[in-house]
Amino acid sequence: MNLKGKTVLIGVSGSIAAYKIAGLVSMLKKQEANVLVAMTENAKNFINPITFETLTNNKCLIETFDRNFEFKTEHISVAKQADLVVIAPATANVIGKIANGIADDMLTTTTMACRCKKLIAPAMNTDMYENPIVQDNIDKLKHFGYEIIEPNCGRLACGDVGKGKMAEPEEILEYISKEIMYEKDLVGKKVLVTAGPTIEKIDDVRFLSNHSTR
């Protein structure tokens, strides 16, 4: 797999799983992808932006109104570069913001401006994940074309055991590869799979059929 010439925007929100994203970024760079990272302020409590800047050789985007920039609307400029957006880990807070059109930081503002495909990898406590409001927000994202990378079941950082553990970086990389590398030549096509002969009724007595192999 080679992602040379492709730009992946990684959105990191405030979850303990944020530390795993350094590994994902490293794997993407090994595939020669251009990786941009946007972080929420809360994400800085779990991983230092310098980590991502060192791995990507790109500035880590955090502040929407950062004055240390070239004269351009930065979130729009980044959005136009991205071939794919991956928000991982995606907290209940960030999922709720995006699902309801709230863009109040660099991550959510840039995501809203992107026209490319978006992948969401939730990470949170089981009770939060199963909360009907969170599930409704996830359904909203699916309705608008976002793809959800289902969280795993296991022991969570809080000590609980259940669903809500972010998918492993290797799993997320597979989703990225599938989305960027392979042409979606069957999108919009309908496929009929049969396990025997097909019959098309002409009237109450007659029908058309075909041979079937076993």
**Residue 139 is part of a domain; what is its CATH number?**
3.40.50.1950
45, part of any domain: yes
Using DSSP bridges, classify how beta strands 147-148 and 152-155 pair: parallel, antiparallel or unpaired.
unpaired
Asked if 94 and 13 touch (Cβ cutoff 8 Å), the reply is: yes
CA dihedral for 151, 167, 1, 55, sign (positive or negative): positive
What is the pTM (predicted TM-score) of this model?
Answer: 0.79
Which pLDDT belongs to residue 149? 97
Q: Which residue has the higher pLDDT, 100 or 212?
A: 100
pLDDT for res 187: 66
pLDDT for 36-71, tens place per residue? 999 999 999 999 999 999 999 999 998 866 555 554
What's the distance, CA 147 to chain centroid? 6
Report the pLDDT averaged over residues 111-136. Answer: 95
Question: Which residues fall within 8 angstroms of residue 157, CB to CB, at 6 or more apart?
Answer: 16, 17
Inside any domain, residue 2: no
Two tokens at 88?
Answer: 């991982």
Whether pLDDT at 192 is above 80 = no
What does the pLDDT read at residue 198?
Answer: 79
* pLDDT tens digits along 74-108: 557 788 899 999 999 999 999 999 999 999 999 99
Beta strands in 24-151 (DSSP E): 34-39, 84-90, 117-122, 147-148
Per cent of the chain over pLDDT 70 is: 88
Q: How far is CA 105 from CA 49, 63, 110, 141, in A?
A: 16, 7, 8, 19
Percent of the chain with pLDDT over 90: 68
Task: Confirm whether 144 is domain-assigned.
Answer: yes
- Among the listed residues 60, 114, 116, 158, the single catalytic one is 158
Counted domains in the chain: 1
Residue 89: asked if its preceding bond is cis (omega within 30°), the reply is yes
206 phi and psi, to 5 degrees?
-95, 155
Beta strands per DSSP E along the chain: 7-12, 34-39, 84-90, 117-122, 147-148, 152-155, 161-165, 199-201, 207-209
pLDDT tens per residue, range 138-169: 999 999 999 999 999 988 887 888 899 999 99
Q: What is the residue range of 139's domain?
A: 7-185
Note the pLDDT of residue 145: 95
Q: Is 199 among the domain residues?
A: no
What confidence score (pLDDT) does residue 168 get? Answer: 96
Which token pair is 176? Answer: 């990225």
Answer yes or no: 158 catalytic. yes
In a domain, 1, yes or no: no
Burial 86-119 (b: 16+ CB within 10 A, else e): bbbbbbbbbbbbbbeeebebbbbbbbebbebbbb
How many Cβ atoms sit within 10 Å of the Cβ of residue 79?
19
Residues 158 and 16: their CA atoms lie apart, in Å, by 10
Predicted local distance difference test score (pLDDT) of residue 214: 52
- Maximal CA-CA distance, the chain: 80
Query: Does 138 fall in a domain?
Result: yes
State the chain's mean pLDDT as an integer.
Answer: 89
Domain assignment of residue 158, yes or no: yes
3-state SS class at 74: helix
**pLDDT confidence band for 197 (50 / 70 / 90):** confident
Which residues lie below 8 Å from residue 42, measured CB to CB, with a gap of 6+? 13, 14, 91
In a domain, 204, yes or no: no
Confidence category of residue 201, pLDDT binned at 50, 70, 90: confident
